[in-house]
Amino acid sequence: MYNIMSYCIIAWIICFLYSEHHTKVNLTWNANDTVTFQQIRRWHFVPERSNGTLRDDVTNINAIAVVIIFSAFDISVMYLIHEWH
């Protein structure tokens, strides 16, 4: 059986590290002794702890599309094997 995955090479080349900071704004004390607030999240790139820069090109795989393609491939192969017998 033909295996497409045997021709794929996956390499971990670049690691980007970000620090995350949270700030609570619009704090409101409620009558039932709870607090309501909105949260602002900020991420800051940490270049000294990263293997790459923000200018590097990154390519990723669309996992949902890959699953659909391989599922369709497996179904068509199973159909052909069934018809061949």
Q: The pTM is what?
A: 0.48
pLDDT tens track, the chain, 85 positions:
444 444 445 555 667 889 999 999 999 999 999 999 999 999 999 999 888 888 888 777 888 887 787 777 666 555 555 565 5
CB 21 within 8 A of CB 39: no
CA atoms within 13 A on the CB side of 28: 7
Does residue 81 form part of some domain?
no
Domain span at residue 37 reads 4-60
Q: Where are the alpha helices (DSSP H) in the chain?
A: 63-84
pLDDT at 71: 75
Residue 8 forms part of a structural domain: yes
Number of domains in the chain: 1
In angstroms, the CA 14 to CA 72 distance is 32
CA 65 to each of CA 2, 10, 70: distance values in angstroms, whole numbers, following the listed order: 19, 17, 9
Give the model's pLDDT for residue 10.
Answer: 54
